[in-house]
Amino acid sequence: MEKIIDRFDKYMVSKGLNDNKVTVQLGLSVGLLGKSRKIDRDLSKGAIEKILNFYSDIEEVWLLTGEGNMLKEDKKELPLDSQAGNDNISKALEIIKSQQESIAKLSDAALIHARNIEKLLENKQLPGTNHDRKAG
């Protein structure tokens, strides 16, 4: 009977992984994979959880039971109702562009106001300064 470790070994071969790399990536105890291959042993629940969390393309049902495909189906294919999703993305991009334009205008206006304030402060004559004294 094929064990979970046997199926994971197939996955490792398909991905070019070795025990050392997997042990480091998953933070497993050194030797855990080798010990799991022994006759009356298999992967622990914790190790299986780490595998499924880290290697997100491995199909959980296949790893646990051997049924189905080793790898999850490519989710890059858009479902039939993807046009609605594309429309939402287009609308969101339009909103982002509009907001960026508004931010740029507000930034320009703030800069102009800051410069005007600086000019006012430069031209303001404070009491008790040399500018207030009459020549005499």
- Would you list the DSSP string of the chain? ---HHHHHHHHHHHHT--HHHHHHHHTPPTTHHHHHTSTT----HHHHHHHHHH-TTB-HHHHHHS-S-SBPPPTTSPPTTHHHHHHHHHHHHHHHHHHHHHHHHHHHHHHHHHHHHHHHHHHPPPTTSTTTSPP-
One domain for residues 11 and 48: yes
> Tens of pLDDT along the chain (136 residues)?
899 999 999 999 999 999 999 999 999 999 999 999 998 899 999 999 999 999 999 999 999 999 999 999 876 555 556 666 777 888 888 888 888 888 889 988 999 998 999 888 888 765 555 555 555 4
Q: How many domains is the chain built from?
A: 2
One domain for residues 12 and 59: yes
Domain that holds residue 24: 4-65
Tell me the pTM: 0.55
> Is residue 81 in some structural domain?
no
One domain for residues 43 and 91: no
